[in-house]
Amino acid sequence: MNAKTTLTIDNREVRIEGEKNLLELARKAGIDIPTFCYHSSLSVYGACRLCLVDIEGRGIVTSCSTKPEPGMKIRTHTEEIRGMRKIAVELLLASHEQNCPTCAKNTTCELQKLARKLGVGEVRFKPTLRPQPLDRTSASLVRNPNKCILCGDCVRACAEIQGIGAIDFAGRGANSCVVPAFGKNLDEVECVNCGLCASVCPTGALTPKSEIEAVWKDLDNPEKTVVVQIAPAVRVALGEAFGLEPGKIETGRIVAGLKALGFDQVYDTCFAADLTVLEEATEFIARKTVGEKLPQFTSCCPAWVKYAEQFYPGLLPNLSSCRSPQQMFGSLAKKILPEKLGVKRENLSIVSVMPCTAKKFEAKLDKFRRDGMPDVDHVLTTQEAARMFEEAGIRFRDLAPQSMDMPLGFKTGAGVIFGASGGVTEAALRYAVEKIKGVELDAVDFHEVRGEAGLREAEYNLDGLQIKVAIVHGLANAKKLAEAAARGECAYDFIEVMACPGGCVAGAGQPVSKEPTTRAERTAALYEADKMLQLHKSQDNHLVAECYQKHLGEIGGHKSHELLHTSYRSRRRICGESLSLLDGAQGEKLKVSVCVGTSCFVRGSQKILEALVKHVQENSLENLVDVQATFCFERCGDGPNVRVGETVIGKCDITTAIKAVEEKLAAAKS
């Protein structure tokens, strides 16, 4: 080998091939250097001090932050280094809640693994943990600060990949912690429930919220008929929980396992995905034809939907009004199954197995309830399903595959590829292109929309109709397009957004894998599954067609709108964000809020606010009117915005604002 391009690790010569750091290089050479705070897709943090290596002539450095240089002589496990790693883990354990057997991360926790691997036999230090309460407020996640080792992986994931920053470090030194703003609960801040933080968290500090007990309860209840839907991405990952290779398609064994658990019917979310394709593509063609509400954003990722509701309320009309496949399935199932299975609606329990934590949040939204009952009763993650198999003593590997129940278990390949980033777009194209051109597609694969890049785009000329599509994953990538769209500078017609990098296959509900290749293997398996199926286009799903005939009427019609579509609302990012400027008596008051967000501010909203406060004071209206400074109504283009009661007045000025207040007051009086 050429000495100019190699270095030695533990006396072995290794070629440098553009690795970012020594850690990656060592991994390539088959040496697993322990880490907590290194994550290949996140920025380097250098805090856990486990990845120490000894470079001849330079001393001990962290391998995660050191670039490989030719000629370096590196040793990765000298006596000194082993000792230091042990001390570091021992120190962490001393400030950690040590109840591993009952921890959600038991056996998958990195701290536990490293303590074992490094041979930490005892903790000689005094325990220093000051127990903090758990945060169970989120529908999707549980935050246990007592298990946090402050590696910052979650913080960087949320900020760098999702562009949100819902959780961050607070305090200093021994008081450092990772919390949402002001130590609020997760459900009070801008967290979108994607669970990325939980999937990078090495310990049990952030974990998906389990609904296992609730599902057992329904299964154990003889009154209930419990049916389950499984999402596309689940079938290519669940096996990993039982030591099978990533990317093995395990649909049959999963069905068998679920049946063994006691589920009455096992269905496929892909059926609903086929529905989604028809509805969403139809919606798109309609919009494209008249040229309005474009670009159309997909709406099947609930994390993205919440993100848009919080940060881009102005774009909500651009979101497809389609429910996610999970919710389409839920409302349809609750509609048709009682009759078909001969159960009372209230005795029908719908469970979904999802690769996702945000689906838990979605299923609990009020808008997805009918007659006081949720459309989807419980959401299990892939991990939870596997755990239930374990609890029931089901030997997954030994199961004999079974097939899904009909009709809701029937799908085409289009529904299956929903699980990968780009899949929704491809499935929609398989329908739309045919529909627009009016001729059958000869090749159903759209390779240009597949792949790993954070933003992918493709352009089609369909008989003169020019269509430009984009696929993004990771909300930080979505943000860029949303910004452009909000400014009206977005050239795309159709944008697929998935919050999780890679799409649902890499969702936070899936078994966590440290192998960098896992994601690609699962994705490949989904496309493989598509190939293996007979049908590849949603429009070819005859059971879907039958469903329209029997229950839904026309695609995009009235009935389907009721069951398969939804609406959105703008959401606060954080509780208590307004700044009350006037304080009179308590009680019902007319709420007047003036937006003082940057763009309204620039347009003089502060003057309006001043005038309003003055007006209220001069006329002694303090007991009737409450003036607040808020931000932002996300209608920055229309600024300055003033909200009087429920009405938002755009391009407002002092006179208009005062007039509106007086009118409302007069109306209230009469």
Partner 1 sequence: MTAATENQTRFRHFAKVCEILSKHDHMPSKLIPILQEVQEEYRYLPQEVLTFVATSLDIPPAQVYGVATFYAHFTLKPKGKYVIRLCDGTACHVRGSNGIHQALLKRLNLTETCNTTPDMLFTVETVSCLGACGLAPVIVINEDVHGQMTPESALKLVDDIFLQENVN
Partner 2 sequence: MLKGQNGCATKPINLAKIATDYAAQTKKLARRVVICAGTGCVANGSLKVYRAFVEGIAKAGLPVVTELTGKQGTLVDGILVSRSGCQGFCQMGPLVTVEPDGILYTRVKEKDVAEIIEQTLKRNEVIDRLLFVNPADGKHCHGQNDIPFYTRQHRMVLKACGNVDPEDINEYIRNSGYAAAEKAYVKMTAQSVCEEITFAALRGRGGGGFPTGKKWELTRIQPGEKKYVICNGDEGDPGAFMDRSVMEGNPHSVIEGMMIAALAIGADEGYVYVRAEYPLAVKRIRKAVVEAERLGLLGDDIFDSGKNFRLHVMEGAGAFVCGEETALMASIEGKRGTPRPKPPFPAQSGLWGKPTVINNVETLATVPLIINMGAAEFRRLGTKGSPGTKTFALTGHVANTGLIEVPFGATLREIIFEIGGGIIDDAGKPFPGGFKAVQIGGPSGGCLIEEHLDLPLDFDSLRGVGAMVGSGGLVVMNKNTCMVKMARFFMQFTQNESCGKCVLCREGTKQMLALLDDIIAGEATEETISLLREVALAVQKGSLCGLGKTAPNPVLSTLRNFRAEVEAHIVQKRCPAGQCKALVMPEIIAEKCKGCTACVKKCPVGAISGEVKKPHRIDPEKCIKCGACAQVCKFGAVVGV
Instruction: Tell me which DSSP letter residue 319 carries.
Output: B
Compare residues 169 and 647 and give the one whose CB is closer to partner 2: 169
Q: Which is nearer to ligand SF4, 204 or 415 (CB)?
A: 204
**Whether the bond into 490 is cis, omega within 30 of 0:** no
* Dist. CA 191–CA 481, nearest whole Å: 20
Which region, judged by CB under 6 A, interacts with ligand FES, from 43-51, 227-235, 373-381, 459-467? 43-51
Q: Which stretch binds ligand FES (CB under 6 A): 33-41, 601-609, 611-619, 656-664?
A: 33-41
Least distance to ligand SF4 from the beta carbon of 571, Å? 13
Considering the complex, what minimum distance in angstroms separates the CB of residue 163 from partner 2? Answer: 17
Neighbour count for residue 364 (Cβ, 10 Å): 16
According to DSSP, the residues that pair with 467 across neighbouring strands are 460
Q: Helix or strand or coil: residue 315?
A: helix
Exposure on the CB side of residue 351, measured as CA atoms within 13 A: 29
By CB under 6 A, tell whether 46 contacts ligand FES: yes
Cβ proximity to partner 1, 122 vs 583, nearer residue: 583
- Kindly give, in sequence order, each residue whose CB lies less than 8 Å from that of residue 293, ignoring residues fewer than 6 positions away: 287, 317, 318
Partner whose binding site includes residue 35, from partner 1, partner 2, ligand FES, none (CB under 5 to 8 Å by kind): ligand FES
For residue 68, whether the previous peptide bond is cis, meaning omega lies within 30 degrees of 0, is: no
Count of CB atoms within 10 A of residue 134's CB?
12
Contact partner at residue 170 from partner 1, ligand SF4, ligand FES, none, CB < 5 to 8 Å by partner kind: partner 1
**Residue number, 114 or 322, with CB nearest to partner 2:** 114
Name, in order, each residue with C-beta under 8 angstroms of 316's C-beta and a sequence gap of 6 or more: 308, 309, 568, 569, 570
| Residues of this chain, 626-655, that bind partner 1 according to CB under 8 A | 629, 631-632
Write out the H or E segment, with its range, that includes residue 457.
strand 455-462
Region near ligand FES per CB under 6 A, out of 42-50, 274-282, 479-487, 514-522: 42-50
Can residue 38 be called a binding residue for ligand FES (CB under 6 A)? yes
Q: Which one of partner 2, ligand SF4, partner 1, none is in contact with 596 (Cβ closer than 5 to 8 A by kind)?
A: partner 1
Neighbours of 479 (CB within 10 A): 18
Among 31, 42, 51, 89, binds ligand FES (CB under 6 A): 51
Say how many C-beta atoms besides its own lie within 10 A of residue 124's C-beta. 9
Q: Is the peptide bond before 222 cis (omega within 30 degrees of 0)?
A: no
On the CB side of 318, CA atoms within 13 Å amount to 26
Nearest-angstrom CA–CA distance, 8 and 70 = 9
308 binds ligand SF4 (CB under 6 A): no
- Using CB under 8 A, pick the residue from 606, 619, 648, 665 that binds partner 1: 606
Q: Which is nearer to ligand SF4, 150 or 525 (CB)?
A: 150
**Non-local CB neighbours of 223 within 8 Å, separated by 6+ positions:** 347
Check if the beta carbon of residue 386 is closer than 8 Å to that of residue 241.
Answer: yes
Q: Does 139 participate in binding ligand SF4 (rule CB under 6 A)?
A: no
Tell me how far apart the alpha carbons of residues 340 and 417 are, in angstroms, rounded to a whole number: 29
Applying CB under 8 A, the site for partner 1 has a residue count of: 41
The correct pick among 29, 115, 120, 194 for binding ligand SF4 (CB under 6 A) is 194
Judged by CB under 6 A, the chain residues 153 through 182 that form the site for ligand SF4 are 153-154, 157-158, 162, 164, 166-167, 178
Give dist(CA 321, CA 324) in Å, integer.
Answer: 9
Question: Cα separation of 10 and 78, whole Å?
Answer: 9
- Are 225 and 263 contacting, i.e. CB atoms less than 8 angstroms apart? no
Segment interacting with partner 1, rule: CB under 8 A, options 19-27, 130-138, 162-170, 261-269: 162-170
Of 10, 20, 47, 82, which lies in the binding site for ligand FES, with binding defined by CB under 6 A?
47
The neighbour count for residue 245, using CB atoms within 10 Å, is 10
Q: Quick one: which of 431, 444, 422, 425 has its CA closest to 523?
A: 422
Supply the minimum distance, in Å, between the C-beta of residue 151 and ligand SF4. Answer: 4
Beta-sheet strands, E only, within 215-318: 225-230, 265-268, 296-297
Q: Report the distance separating Cα 596 and Cα 561, nearest Å.
A: 38
Q: Report the 10 Å Cβ neighbour count for 270.
A: 35
In this complex, which beta carbon is closest to partner 1, that of residue 328 or of residue 608?
608
Q: Which does 203 bind (CB under 5 to 8 A by kind): ligand SF4, ligand FES, partner 1, none?
A: ligand SF4
Q: Minimal distance in Å, beta carbon 181 to partner 2?
A: 14
Q: Cis link prior to 374 (omega < 30° from 0)?
A: no
From the list ligand SF4, ligand FES, partner 1, none, pick the one residue 169 interacts with, judged by a Cβ distance below 5 to 8 Å according to partner type: partner 1
Q: Is 22 in the site for ligand FES (CB under 6 A)?
A: no
User: Is there a contact between 233 and 504 (Cβ–Cβ < 8 Å)?
Assistant: yes
**Residue 51 near which of partner 1, partner 2, ligand FES, none (CB within 5-8 Å, type-dependent):** ligand FES
CB of 492 to partner 2, least distance (A): 31
171 is an interface residue for partner 1 by CB under 8 A: yes
Pick the closer one to ligand FES by CB: 24 or 218: 24
Helix axes 382-391, 212-220, angle to 10 degrees: 50
- Can you give the binding site for partner 2, defined by CB under 8 A? 44-50, 52, 59-60, 62, 64-67, 80, 83-84, 87-88, 91-92, 94-95, 124-126, 128, 149-150, 152, 169, 171-176
Residues that bind ligand SF4 (CB under 6 A): 141, 148-154, 157-158, 162, 164, 166-167, 178, 191-197, 200-203, 205-206
Residues that bind ligand FES (CB under 6 A): 35-38, 46-51, 62, 64
Residues that bind partner 1 (CB under 8 A): 159, 164-172, 179-183, 189-190, 573-574, 576-584, 596-598, 601, 606, 609-610, 613, 617, 622, 629, 631-632
